[in-house]
Amino acid sequence: MKIVAAVALGILLGGLVCVIGNADVSADAPAAGHTVDAAACMRLTSLRLPNTTITSAQVVVAGAFKLPAGASGTAEGFADLPAFCRVELSIKPSSDSDIKSEIWLPLSGWNGKFQMVGNGGWNGFIQYAALAAALRRGYATASTDTGHAGDTASFAPGHPEKLIDFGYRAVHETTLRGKTVAAALYSAPPRLSYFTGCSGGGRQAFMEAQRYPDDFEGIIAGDPGWDRAAESVQLIAAAQATHKDAASFISKEKFAVLHQAALDACDAQDGLKDGLINNPLRCKFDPGVTLCKGADAANCLTRPQVEAAKKLYAPIVDPQTGKEIFPGFEPGTELRFANNTAAPRPLGMADDTFKYTVIGDPNWDFRTLDIHRDFVRSRETDKGIVSATSTNLKPYVSRGSKLIIYHGWADQNVAPLSSVNYYNELIKVLGKKTVEDSVRLYMAPGMGHCAGGEGPSVFDTLTPLDEWREKGIAPKEIIASQMAGGKVTRTRPLCPYPQEAQYKGNGSPDHAESFVCRRDQ
């Protein structure tokens, strides 16, 4: 009824009512190219899409977008947006589904491409900032709330269909709708479609490449938490290590002591003392060097603290099978360890995985985790719905589609070695040549989870992905910037793995030109 009413109103008022803001953008809109008018946007409400209700299709005039009440993100940062057609959808692929999605389409200057943006953690919010970023670059773009509201997994118990929506279906369905809506508005389908996401969005990226190889021609997976079943065990085991008893707890201040010791051991090893450990895999750091010589003091760790710290860097191994479940964290990450391992509970993403999807008890005590038993349970309950562990990317790459993975070496949430391991597995499965033609991995020294950290963490992966897929220009180094007070304080190349940025021996260590990408011998 809603759709009928909206269309009738549109016909009645000549399509000029669907404008948010105080300007009428339809009057003088040129008809050439990919320029469309307000009436065309509003007519989208009459589109018939499977299991879908278009709840709204309205033009938002340039600079008029306001973050909806209750939405995730900051209210600032939308004033520079161009005029766009904002389409809101409700998708119900199952009787228990309630997927809310939005598609944003520029009224003029569409670049002919579509970009789906991802969600982190258990995120159930439309990603407005990411939509805005894509729109600014001329993309038709879409985001979904993944089928639930809020940022916990508390929706999952008793709702297996909603968990499927979260795991993979909401992104896929929204992608299909996004392409169809763009085709209807511009009278031409997007010539290329890309996915961009970090953290949980990296997981979604892997899921898409593995499960729906036809959805995208290019995918960017940042700090991907692709194996949530295993990663959650590792994160909870890390929290267990520092919460074993009061003596094992490591404070933020003590983590700073540990960080300095890691730098003392490994910073200069890469040829440049710059506060960054270029390749932590070559860093043999023993937390035992911080052991107090006598009584506990501010500048040292007690024996129980040293033992707890060692567990944070160690891989989690199944004590029954002897197999590694998930890698540990890397030296150089210590300043952010306090966010997870010194907090009262483990990282919410992992805690929720166990509370709501594995154990089914919101009062579950993470100290009771048994690594073997609960890893088996975690895999069994996941069933490949949330974890994206397949390395068969042949259907994806055989279409000429590209995958760029990046990961901060100082990621405190998703152990960065998991991305290296996945990349190495791809080489085994697909062969080196195919991987070189289709996949790039960039490891960022000193970068935290998706952003921040001690190293340069601001960089653009979309341009190299686009140039690779559209123009055949294979990506090489990517220049990353470090920012402070809104200014660039340092630039550094990120190199295609296994190459590393090595200091040439002269020139400013804060300038990317002073480095060369090469493989360490």
Binding-residue total with Ca ion (CB under 5 A): 5
Residues 207-212: contacts with CB under 8 Å, at least 24 apart:
207/167, 207/168, 207/171, 207/388, 208/168, 208/171, 208/172, 208/175, 209/393, 209/396, 209/401, 209/403, 210/388, 210/390, 210/392, 210/393, 210/396, 211/168, 211/172, 211/388, 211/390, 212/168, 212/172, 212/175
Nearer to Ca ion by C-beta: 63 or 271? 271
Measure the CA–CA gap between 47 and 343, rounded to whole angstroms: 49
Nearer to Ca ion by C-beta: 202 or 455? 455
Name the minimum Å distance from CB 394 to Ca ion: 38
Are the CB atoms for 222 and 450 separated by under 8 Å?
yes
Measure the CA–CA gap between 358 and 98, rounded to whole angstroms: 22
Name the minimum Å distance from CB 266 to Ca ion: 8
Nearer to Ca ion by C-beta: 205 or 276? 276
Residues 247-276 interacting with Ca ion (rule: CB under 5 A):
267, 270, 272, 274, 276
Measure the CA–CA gap between 87 and 111, rounded to whole angstroms: 18
* SS3 per residue for 485-503: CCEEEEEEEECECCEEEEE
Q: Binding string, 275-294, against Ca ion, x = CB under 5 A?
A: -x------------------
Name the minimum Å distance from CB 440 to Ca ion: 23
Name the minimum Å distance from CB 273 to Ca ion: 6
Q: Does 208 bind Ca ion (CB under 5 A)?
A: no
Nearer to Ca ion by C-beta: 275 or 384? 275
Question: Collapsing DSSP states into helix, strand and coil, what is residue 361?
Answer: coil
Name the minimum Å distance from CB 262 to Ca ion: 11
Nearer to Ca ion by C-beta: 267 or 477? 267
Are the CB atoms for 264 and 331 separated by under 8 Å?
no
Angle of helix 303-313 relative to helix 228-242, nearest 10 degrees?
A: 170
Which residues are marked as active site? 199, 411, 449
Residues that bind Ca ion (CB under 5 A): 267, 270, 272, 274, 276
